Chains A and B, each alone.
Chain A
Amino acid sequence: MQELEIVASRRRLRLAMPRGGPLGGVVLALAILLLFNLVATPHFISLQTLYVNLTQVTTIVIVAVGMTMVIATGGIDLSVGSLMAIAGALAPLIFAGRLLGIGPGPFADVLAFFVPVLVAMAFGSFNGWLVARFRIQPIVATLVLFIAGRGIAQVMTNGNLQAFHNASFHALGLGRVLGVPIQVWLMAVVVGLAAWAIRRTLYGRQLLAIGGNEAAARLAGLPVARITILVYAVSGLLSGIAGLIVIAINSSSDANLVGLGMELDAIAAVAVGGTALTGGRASIIGTLLGALIIQLLRYTLLSHGVPDAAALVVKAAVILAAVYLQQVGRAP
């Protein structure tokens, strides 16, 4: 009897869910939020508002894109925040010439961008290697670097805040191209590339196949281990980029703070964006929208005088609701 009622209520809920695929609900939620703000929030339509919201969301989106791919393979990556800290700690050491012995200059700046990102990528591959080679559950495998990674960053900088003046990084943090902040361009490129890669590249199709049915993928001859390592490497690479953006915005690097709690923000964005945590599906655009919803929600609450803390509680409720709706929508 009770069962029947549950089934019936599920039906009703599913009917209530908007049509237009899995993204429908996310778009609807975002639209409602925008509409509310248009009506109720003064000065909402301004470039200022747009850029404030976008710059606050860029790093989350960039990291969440990598997280989406990891989750699509049925995994999770807890180490993203720590890898951001490592990249953030490395860059100032490099362009100041304290690490590679190459004095300040354009070449050092280039190195200061690429080396940290590649290092973060290498750490990401290490995560993937643990998962693929030893079949360690992703949550534990990446917990190792979650703990050790920030320590490595702190050890490198002795835990000191590294304040710096560097034109290239200044541009990355505050520069604009065509009036749009560089980091927003970067985010757009990352999102566009990732969405394209999921659809159009071998890598994208294979990672979805592995998350969707690993046994079938193996029997179809897919290089499961290689793809898994690559996916975690990409997540590491994107974390590295996000770490550099954070220090560029602040013009300083604090290994204790860069990327702190990022893993959770990224996972939340993925969950709200409609990518199932069980793997086999990846919606990059959904993740972007998910991150935007969380950000806009926070902005809305703040601009109406609701404290940041309450915004956290609302965020929690939104995540739970999103997962619950996914669950109901999926149930037979």
Chain B
Amino acid sequence: MTSAIDTISSGPRPRGNRHAALLQRQGVVLALVLLIVFGAVRYDDFLGLYNVMSVLRYNAMFALVALGMGFVIMTGGIDLSVGATAALASVVSAGLSDVGLGAGLAAGIAAGLGVGLVNGLAISRARLPAFVTTLATMLGARGLALLISGNQSVSVSWDTSFTDLGGGDFLGFPIPAWIAGVAFVLGSVLLNLTGFGRAVLAIGGNEEAARLMGLPVARVKLLVYVLTGGLAGLAGVILAAQFGAGQPTEGQGWELFAIAAVVVGGTLLTGGMGSVGFTLAGTLLLGLIFNILNFENGKGDFTLSAYWQSVIRGAFLLLVVLLQNRLARRPS
């Protein structure tokens, strides 16, 4: 009897060794650190205040979209509409920016929540497949953005403080970075310290079991898409504030880059496992690749066009996916 218990309590089965698992989880952080060290050593101004701040400022909206995408993917779903939603929100918020910062912000977020609500209802209540549903709402949101804006970018008002949302600083840090930072902290609390967060992961891990355990599966799924829509809306507000205009044609391909960032951050695409912090690291990693290419070209030893960034991003995604596949063969 005792010996049998020993075998059970001897713990994890040797299903892929632990170092490998650790590498997989922390790999993105390691890669990020290596990339930063590489940049710092090779380029003079890489860690300069200006570069750090502009990287943070520029990547904030991608980070927000990736955060939402991370939640959706953890439930085992997908949201292709985030880029178009951000474009819609940028147009709406720019249009209301002359009323004030608050009005512009609220309008943009509300537009995002609206698209998210449509997604959530179709997926959780009508049980349509997430892929096609969000594909359709992506077209719909893009169409609305173009309709509202009359196919043109919508200038934001410079009379209100709206543009601070893109270009302003607070305590020496860019405001978009603050917004993204707060969103990630809240997202992390939501995922790790609330029943909702645990339910998100449980549903992605085994929806049937989650239902049998009495979790409100439909409600959690609905909320996740609404949340993601809201975050995409927020990203759209920042986009408008940063560019000085609502951009109805921006945001194309954001959804797939967000998926890439989430996957690079170690979140399983099949759902059930994921981390808010690593998603942030994944976003920064993909963003820094672009930044480093700029520096490399500035240095002038040899020139790599900016187009290499997508090739490198793709290669990176491939590497991560193959590694994930090797190390984390999902238990069946």
Are A and B in contact, CB atoms below 8 Å, in the complex? Answer: yes
Residues of A whose CB lies within 8 Å of any CB of B are 76, 78, 130, 134-137, 139-141, 143-152, 154-155, 158-159, 255, 260-261, 264, 267-268, 271, 277, 307-317, 319-320, 323-324, 327
**Chain B residue contacts of A267, Cβ below 8 A:** 132, 135
State how many angstroms separate the Cβ of B142 from the closest Cβ of chain A. 6
**Chain B residue contacts of A315, Cβ below 8 A:** 136, 139-140, 143
Are A310 and B122 neighbours in the complex by a CB distance under 8 Å?
no
Residues of B201-258 at the interface with A, using a CB-CB cut-off of 8 Å, are 248, 252, 256-257
- CA distance in complex: A319, B143 (Å): 14
- CA distance in complex: A214, B129 (Å): 21
**Chain A residue contacts of B248, Cβ below 8 A:** 309
Residue of A nearest to B309 (CB): A151
State how many angstroms separate the Cβ of A160 from the closest Cβ of chain B. 10
Partner-binding segment picked from B21-29, B64-72, B318-326: B318-326
Candidate in B252, B305, B310, B312 with the most chain A CB atoms within 10 angstroms: B310
Are B260 and A317 neighbours in the complex by a CB distance under 8 Å?
no
- CA distance in complex: A158, B297 (Å): 14
**Chain B residue contacts of A152, Cβ below 8 A:** 311
Query: In which size bucket is the chain B interface?
Result: 35 or more
Are A312 and B146 neighbours in the complex by a CB distance under 8 Å?
yes
Are B313 and A139 neighbours in the complex by a CB distance under 8 Å?
no
What 1/0 mask marks residues of chain B from 65 to 84 whose CB sits below 8 Å from any chain A CB? 00000000000001010000
A-B contact pairs, 15 of them (CB 8 A): A78-B256, A136-B321, A139-B78, A140-B321, A147-B314, A151-B309, A151-B311, A154-B305, A155-B307, A158-B305, A264-B80, A309-B143, A312-B146, A314-B143, A327-B127
Are B311 and A155 neighbours in the complex by a CB distance under 8 Å?
yes
Given contacts A327-B126, A327-B128, contact A312 B317 (CB under 8 A): no
Residue of A nearest to B138 (CB): A264
Which secondary structure dominates chain B's binding surface? helix
- CA distance in complex: A316, B140 (Å): 5
Given contacts A312-B139, A319-B136, contact A155 B305 (CB under 8 A): yes
Of A143, A255, A277, A324, the residue contacting B317 (CB under 8 A) is A143
Residue of A nearest to B318 (CB): A144
Are B147 and A310 neighbours in the complex by a CB distance under 8 Å?
yes
**Chain B residue contacts of A149, Cβ below 8 A:** 314
Are A151 and B269 neighbours in the complex by a CB distance under 8 Å?
no
B275 interface contact, C-beta 8 A: no
**Chain B residue contacts of A271, Cβ below 8 A:** 132
Are A313 and B309 neighbours in the complex by a CB distance under 8 Å?
no
Residue of B nearest to A79 (CB): B314
**Chain A residue contacts of B311, Cβ below 8 A:** 148, 151-152, 155
Residue of A nearest to B142 (CB): A312
B180 interface contact, C-beta 8 A: no
**Chain A residue contacts of B135, Cβ below 8 A:** 264, 267-268, 319
**Chain A residue contacts of B122, Cβ below 8 A:** 320
**Chain B residue contacts of A323, Cβ below 8 A:** 128-129, 132-133, 136
- CA distance in complex: A152, B143 (Å): 30
Given contacts A271-B132, A312-B139, A320-B136, contact A147 B147 (CB under 8 A): no
Given contacts A154-B307, A309-B144, A327-B128, contact A316 B139 (CB under 8 A): yes
Given contacts A134-B325, A309-B151, A323-B128, contact A139 B305 (CB under 8 A): no
Of B142, B144, B257, the residue contacting A147 (CB under 8 A) is B257
Which secondary structure dominates chain A's binding surface? helix
**Chain B residue contacts of A308, Cβ below 8 A:** 146, 151
Residues of B whose CB lies within 8 Å of any CB of A are 78, 80, 122, 126-129, 131-133, 135-140, 142-147, 151, 248, 252, 256-257, 259-260, 263, 269-270, 305-315, 317-318, 321-322, 325
Are B136 and A316 neighbours in the complex by a CB distance under 8 Å?
yes
**Chain A residue contacts of B126, Cβ below 8 A:** 324, 327
**Chain B residue contacts of A143, Cβ below 8 A:** 256, 259-260, 317
Are B314 and A313 neighbours in the complex by a CB distance under 8 Å?
no
Of B147, B257, B307, B322, the residue contacting A313 (CB under 8 A) is B147
- CA distance in complex: A317, B133 (Å): 10
Of B80, B143, B305, B317, the residue contacting A144 (CB under 8 A) is B317
**Chain B residue contacts of A264, Cβ below 8 A:** 80, 135, 138-139
**Chain A residue contacts of B147, Cβ below 8 A:** 307, 309-310, 313
State how many angstroms separate the Cβ of B204 from the closest Cβ of chain A. 14
**Chain A residue contacts of B314, Cβ below 8 A:** 144-149, 151
Of A140, A277, A313, the residue contacting B131 (CB under 8 A) is A277
Are A313 and B140 neighbours in the complex by a CB distance under 8 Å?
yes
Are A313 and B128 neighbours in the complex by a CB distance under 8 Å?
no
Are B128 and A151 neighbours in the complex by a CB distance under 8 Å?
no
Are B129 and A137 neighbours in the complex by a CB distance under 8 Å?
no
Are A307 and B146 neighbours in the complex by a CB distance under 8 Å?
yes
**Chain A residue contacts of B139, Cβ below 8 A:** 264, 268, 312-313, 315-316, 319
- CA distance in complex: A147, B313 (Å): 7
**Chain A residue contacts of B270, Cβ below 8 A:** 137
Are B151 and A307 neighbours in the complex by a CB distance under 8 Å?
yes
State how many angstroms separate the Cβ of A278 from the closest Cβ of chain B. 8
Are B321 and A141 neighbours in the complex by a CB distance under 8 Å?
yes
**Chain A residue contacts of B309, Cβ below 8 A:** 151
Residue of B nearest to A315 (CB): B139
Given contacts A309-B147, A312-B142, A319-B135, contact A151 B308 (CB under 8 A): yes
- CA distance in complex: A146, B317 (Å): 11
